[in-house]
């Protein structure tokens, strides 16, 4: 047995190393820790035709499986700092708000979210487990995230939801853990979720009429009563904030705007009117999207001028309190008055893909590297690269309506 084979680097082992580093110079720069046997036997100077033919033949034999040799040691993977630097983009926006989608499944079929037939879902083996969600969330928190929101699909369909909330709320550095739900089965989980550390709650509801609820969600109108009951229960459980999300669509529910406003008169409820946004499968149209300015004008005509309330940097909603109201009225103006310049949000989807902009179609897989044993620093490198690629602003509603993106249910609301 040659010296090269004894040390684990036989003829083809050295050959593979030379081929990887320099496909034209054969052995001129090669060295073996076991002495000169390998280099003497299989290298010639540049221009040595016999040596080249011999090396080429060895390569062909190895590729044919006639010779087995150890593979090269893996190149070290790049890393990035596990700190806020890696979550700061090229426009100096520091990202401190992480939205995590827990599932792609939903028990409703809202028209602005997905088509009636539903959408293709990721197999369960391709979704993050509770421990994987916790591991990635913990990494993001170490990088400066202090606010987490759980979304879906419908997060209450996860049997381990309370466990996940408890784990996230226990992370040092997390100031709030929120969740967005459609409210259908929320009532049965509210007390456990509050006890596990859920601090903020958003409930999505686009109509207060049973027959319209059935048409808009493509499910039984009786679900409306469950949603409203869950909202009232939540208001009595000490959540720091309870919000009602209303997507306003012309010809669908714009005639209910004032009815929703009345819900905030005697309740400490934040009613948020959201401009309809384009996503795959929701058949968005400019004609059906009601601009924020129109919605606000209709409200102020009925209740009088609304005083703006304090708005923190990175908040997406314009918040107002009508005179004499216990609650607030807010507007999310993503289409007509974007807030990209102060965006601090990033998204981790249920399949472990990372998205830096709700409207962008660029994604970075984090679950695959996590399962392959990447370290925190190596995953941070992937995250940092995606964050640096975040654009200054989204493309605008007309361009977005033509651009490919996921269905909303597979992104997370």
Average pLDDT over residues 96-107: 95
pLDDT, greater one: 152 or 199: 199
Provide the pLDDT for residue 66: 67
Provide the pLDDT for residue 118: 75
pLDDT exceeds cutoff 60 at 64 = yes
Confidence of residue 207 (pLDDT cuts 50, 70, 90): very high
Q: Of all helices (H) and strands (E), which one includes residue 169?
A: helix 161-169
For residues 112 and 141, the answer to whether their CB atoms sit within 8 Å is: no
Percent of the chain with pLDDT over 70: 78
Highest mean pLDDT among 48-52, 63-67, 361-365: 361-365
pLDDT exceeds cutoff 50 at 11 = no
Written as one string, the DSSP assignment of 2-43 is -HHHHTT--HHHHHHHHHHH-SS--STT--BTTBSHHHHHH-
Provide the pLDDT for residue 406: 60
Q: Of all helices (H) and strands (E), which one includes residue 234?
A: helix 223-235
- Could you give the domains of the chain? 3-63 (no CATH), 84-411 (3.20.20.70)
User: Scanning the structure block, which residue is given the tokens 């001028």?
Assistant: 305
pLDDT exceeds cutoff 70 at 9 = no
Which of the 8 DSSP states describes residue 244?
E
pLDDT exceeds cutoff 90 at 208 = yes
Q: Which of 13-27, 237-251, 293-307, 383-397 has the lowest mean pLDDT?
A: 13-27
What distance, in Å, lies between the first and last C-alpha atoms of the chain? 64
Which of the 8 DSSP states describes residue 74?
P
Mean pLDDT of the chain: 84
Provide the pLDDT for residue 70: 59
Average pLDDT over residues 150-173: 97
Average pLDDT over residues 14-41: 40
User: Scanning the structure block, which residue is given the tokens 């827990």?
Assistant: 102
Backbone φ and ψ of 42, nearest 5°: -125, 10
Confidence of residue 110 (pLDDT cuts 50, 70, 90): confident
Provide the pLDDT for residue 285: 66
Nearest to 304 by CA among 284, 280, 320: 320
Provide the pLDDT for residue 14: 45
For residues 333 and 290, the answer to whether their CB atoms sit within 8 Å is: no
Average pLDDT over residues 260-266: 98
pLDDT exceeds cutoff 70 at 362 = yes
Provide the pLDDT for residue 31: 37
Q: Which of 48-57, 335-344, 380-389 has the lowest mean pLDDT?
A: 48-57
pLDDT exceeds cutoff 90 at 40 = no
Q: Which residues sit opposite 201 in a β-bridge?
A: 179, 242
For residues 271 and 242, the answer to whether their CB atoms sit within 8 Å is: no
- pLDDT tens-digit series, residues 20-33: 444 433 333 333 33
Q: What is the pTM of this model?
A: 0.79
Spatial distance between the Cα atoms of 326 and 234, rounded to a whole number of angstroms: 16
In angstroms, how far is CA 400 from the centroid of its own chain? 18
Provide the pLDDT for residue 29: 36
């Amino acid at each position: 047995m040659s010296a090269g084979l004894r040390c684990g680097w036989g003829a083809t082992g050295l050959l593979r190393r030379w081929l990887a580093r320099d496909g034209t110079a054969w052995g001129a720069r090669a060295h073996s820790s076991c002495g000169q046997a390998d280099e003497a036997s299989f290298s010639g100077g540049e221009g040595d035709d016999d040596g080249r033919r011999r090396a080429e033949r060895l390569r062909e034999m190895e590729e044919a499986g006639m010779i087995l040799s150890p593979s090269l040691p893996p190149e070290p993977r790049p890393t990035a700092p596990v700190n806020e630097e890696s979550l700061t983009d090229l426009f100096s926006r520091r990202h401190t708000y992480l939205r995590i989608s827990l599932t792609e499944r939903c028990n409703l079929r809202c028209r602005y979210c997905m088509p009636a037939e539903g959408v293709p879902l990721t197999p369960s083996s391709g979704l993050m487990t509770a421990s994987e969600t916790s591991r990635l969330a913990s990494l993001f928190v170490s990088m400066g995230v202090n606010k987490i929101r759980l979304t879906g699909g419908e997060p209450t369909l996860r049997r381990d939801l309370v466990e996940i909330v408890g784990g996230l709320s226990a992370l040092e550095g997390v100031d709030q853990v929120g969740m967005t739900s459609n409210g259908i089965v929320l009532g049965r989980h509210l007390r456990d979720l509050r006890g596990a550390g859920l601090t903020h709650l958003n409930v999505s509801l686009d109509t207060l009429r049973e027959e319209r609820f059935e048409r808009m969600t493509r499910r039984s109108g009786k679900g409306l009563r469950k949603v409203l009951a869950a909202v009232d229960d939540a208001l009595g459980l000490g959540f720091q904030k309870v919000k009602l999300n209303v997507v306003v669509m012309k010809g669908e529910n714009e005639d209910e705007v004032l009815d929703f406003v009345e819900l905030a008169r005697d309740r400490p409820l934040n009613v948020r009117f959201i401009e309809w946004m384009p996503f795959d499968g929701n058949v968005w149209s400019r004609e059906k999207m009601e601009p924020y300015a129109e919605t606000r004008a209709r409200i102020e005509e009925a209740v009088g001028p609304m005083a703006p309330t304090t708005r923190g940097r990175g908040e997406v909603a314009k918040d107002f309190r009508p005179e004499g109201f216990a609650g607030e009225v807010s507007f999310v103006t993503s289409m007509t008055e974007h807030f990209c310049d102060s965006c601090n949000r990033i998204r981790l989807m249920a399949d472990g893909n990372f998205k830096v902009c709700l409207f962008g179609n660029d994604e970075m897989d984090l679950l695959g590297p996590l399962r392959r044993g990447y370290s925190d620093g190596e995953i941070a490198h992937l995250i940092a690269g995606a964050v640096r690629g975040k654009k200054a602003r989204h493309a605008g509603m007309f361009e977005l309506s033509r651009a490919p993106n996921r269905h909303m249910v597979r992104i997370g609301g």
